[in-house]
Chain A
């Protein structure tokens, strides 16, 4: 009997059919990835495997068998015994998936004790054992830490440890690396891979990132609108996809080895920063988030800024637009020293949900820079906003709509329109596409390139995704701990990196080809062993 056998699964929330007649099997020890964009129903399927829809009001049809248990039919008590013991979920977003009030070791011990008759002491020892196994250094001591005392990567490891505690036959990993930096992501994927080799547990990986899937599984199931689009061995699906949607999806994934096309870069310097430094905290606790960064931005070019979380790239971006006062250093706009907010340098924020006021219509938000400039003629404001909305691919009639009526991609277009309202020469984009699905991501990137070409804009593109940065940038700076470790034309930095950190970053980028992924994994293993 298969480890997982899903037949004709349907899940409905009210009138919304999230999963629509899905069937698949997963054999013991095998690994399958459910790949799809947000809203494709992939996480709903993962929850259905553990019967998590029970009691939530969702209607579930079809049949789900996991490790010989009929998830739809069994009693609550039997279902409880399946969860965590035979099939365990590794959750996404590691900060909120653990209880903030208890020590991590105690939380794992609690789960272990629920399913075994182990004593408190034995359960605690087991917790330390699994924490050690997932590579938490000094596991005895660290098992007493609470979640906030762990880094993101360590919390994700702890969640994997929790899943391993009862030696389940199946691991269900729901976007296990989405919140992590690329180097940490590689470590977690390598860990999952190693554990699978050692324990022979089956893996069901839920992810929106085709690269993550290519790194980790044997089979891929592409989902869209709750249905199977394509299902097959990972190498076949990724190399020669048979379905149009899969081809589109793969086509939209930015490749770290594909250079920018259609550059509009000139030699005319617009913005120049020298020796920028910014400290946070005071006295002994002061630390520099950005420490002596100098860069130039030219008309029509895109400068990519890459780095992991905490590298200071957002702080740098905010100083460039004047939202943060530098502790030291100068910013020159068109050769003149400039302090404070400069209308000619605008910003597009990462999260289009929280960077738009939910209580004001998008038209009003876009009109803000116009009003700030002293424009008082309502008809002119409305005309200009309509023009801007159309410019970014929305409709003028959207003026009176509110942010929640738009999709993530549309909201980001609103954010871009707002930045354009001030007629800027430079736009600093802080992770403008990292909250978006790959196909939407590609559209927003295309829009930015188009605007750049037409308006001669200089763009500063701040992102942690190395592939996206390569796709859009003429030049790249790599940041680490507030400093620039490498700077140069994008092709040079990506094709022949000089700094060891840049090399490390590039080696961690998931490859779309499973064979390349396997080679890189081997290389990382050697690097780690050396």
Chain B
């Protein structure tokens, strides 16, 4: 077990290092490269005097490493930011101030995160159920009609863009059948039941899009494990087919699914732009679209950092889970 704890700690430490590098790269990308960050941060409507003021507040006159150190300091312990009319304290993790919104980037994103998290986590549960379920069925009916039909269906789901699937689903469940309300986001803390009802369609749209990958992955790993010698061993020892598949074959198919889920979940936390726009969910994806359109640099930088953070974190967690599923990893 100590071996395992050491493995987990090492992996998380590595993730921290990646995050540090990530912050440097992103900082360099937006603030150091040619262009006028002060102009970008302030927004297109600012006067030259206002831009100069922002430049001074951002400390752009200092050497690059001082600027970065200041930025990192804000991230880790917090700092004071200027709002244009005065200064206010910006607690860690401070991502700067959005002059266009007149609000700190951190609180701006924090408001948006629950919606995105609701969408991503719910959709993941659904796509895992759909994907693993159809994949399992495909593998067990390998070579039959069921497999071909399922493959066609999941691939079609993957091929059709989410804004078409989503509209068709809305048409069916809202307009024709009237089973579901027209989706509008209700926070979980306000009304859990309404929260879920309103998110069913977004979840389903995303899940249909994503499940094809999981279906293919489950099917191919399961076919692989079903052909393995240890599966034959348990069959030859009279273990029931149900246990052979559930305990021994499916178990071997789990690690790659964990790895892929982590990648997808991390990405999705950065906002599922299309789905959020389509269903009017006030999440990070919508912020990203808005801030890019209005050229709100601090928000864009903050969003990219947050997305990167979730991708790196999800992968580190996945690696640890992978090691829980397959202990041999720890030794490698």
**Which residues of A approach B to under 8 Å, CB–CB?**
50, 52, 79-85, 88-89, 91, 93, 96-102, 110-111, 114-115, 146, 148, 159, 162
Residue of chain B at shortest CB distance from A108? B237
Chain B residue contacts of A159, Cβ below 8 A:
233
Contact of B233 among A85, A98, A114 (CB under 8 A): A98
Taking the closest CB of chain A, its distance from the CB of B253, in whole angstroms, is 11
B230 touching A83 by the CB < 8 A rule? Answer: no
B326 touching A80 by the CB < 8 A rule? Answer: no
Chain B residue contacts of A80, Cβ below 8 A:
238, 240
A111 touching B252 by the CB < 8 A rule? Answer: no
B238 touching A85 by the CB < 8 A rule? Answer: yes
Contact of A91 among B229, B248, B251 (CB under 8 A): B229
A162 touching B230 by the CB < 8 A rule? Answer: no
B328 touching A100 by the CB < 8 A rule? Answer: yes
Contact of B238 among A82, A99, A100, A148 (CB under 8 A): A82
Chain B residue contacts of A110, Cβ below 8 A:
234, 239, 243, 247
Sorting the interface of chain B by its residue count into under 10, 10 to 19, 20 to 34 or 35 or more gives 20 to 34
Taking the closest CB of chain A, its distance from the CB of B225, in whole angstroms, is 10
B236 touching A99 by the CB < 8 A rule? Answer: no
The CB with the most chain A CB atoms within 10 A, among B236, B237, B240, is that of: B237
**Which residues of B approach A to under 8 Å, CB–CB?**
228-230, 232-240, 243, 247-248, 251-252, 325-328, 331
With A99-B248, A99-B251 known to touch, is A114 a contact of B237 (CB < 8 Å)? Answer: yes
Taking the closest CB of chain B, its distance from the CB of A48, in whole angstroms, is 12
B237 touching A101 by the CB < 8 A rule? Answer: no
Chain B residue contacts of A91, Cβ below 8 A:
229, 232-233, 236
Contact of A88 among B234, B237, B239, B240 (CB under 8 A): B237
Taking the closest CB of chain A, its distance from the CB of B235, in whole angstroms, is 7
Q: 13 other contacts beyond A102-B247, A110-B247, A111-B239, with CB at 8 A cut-off?
A: A52-B232, A52-B235, A81-B238, A84-B238, A85-B238, A91-B229, A91-B232, A91-B233, A91-B236, A97-B230, A100-B252, A101-B326, A114-B238
Chain A residue contacts of B232, Cβ below 8 A:
52, 91, 97
A66 vs B233: C-alpha distance when bound (angstroms):
19
A101 touching B235 by the CB < 8 A rule? Answer: no
Residue of chain B at shortest CB distance from A46? B236
Taking the closest CB of chain B, its distance from the CB of A204, in whole angstroms, is 14
Contact of B236 among A50, A93, A148 (CB under 8 A): A50
B230 touching A84 by the CB < 8 A rule? Answer: no
Chain A residue contacts of B233, Cβ below 8 A:
89, 91, 97-99, 159, 162
The CB with the most chain B CB atoms within 10 A, among A91, A101, A146, is that of: A101
A96 touching B228 by the CB < 8 A rule? Answer: yes
Residue of chain A at shortest CB distance from B236? A89
**What are 9 A-B pairs at a CB distance below 8 A?**
A52-B232, A83-B235, A83-B237, A89-B236, A96-B228, A96-B230, A101-B325, A110-B243, A111-B237
With A146-B327, A148-B328 known to touch, is A100 a contact of B230 (CB < 8 Å)? Answer: yes
The 9 closest A-B CB pairs, nearest first, are A84-B237, A83-B238, A96-B229, A80-B238, A84-B238, A99-B230, A111-B237, A89-B236, A97-B229
A93 vs B248: C-alpha distance when bound (angstroms):
18
Chain A residue contacts of B235, Cβ below 8 A:
52, 83
With A91-B229, A93-B229, A146-B327 known to touch, is A99 a contact of B234 (CB < 8 Å)? Answer: yes
Residue of chain B at shortest CB distance from A91? B233
A248 vs B202: C-alpha distance when bound (angstroms):
73
A439 vs B293: C-alpha distance when bound (angstroms):
77
Contact of B230 among A50, A88, A89, A98 (CB under 8 A): A98
A52 touching B238 by the CB < 8 A rule? Answer: no
A162 vs B230: C-alpha distance when bound (angstroms):
13
Chain B residue contacts of A89, Cβ below 8 A:
233, 236-237
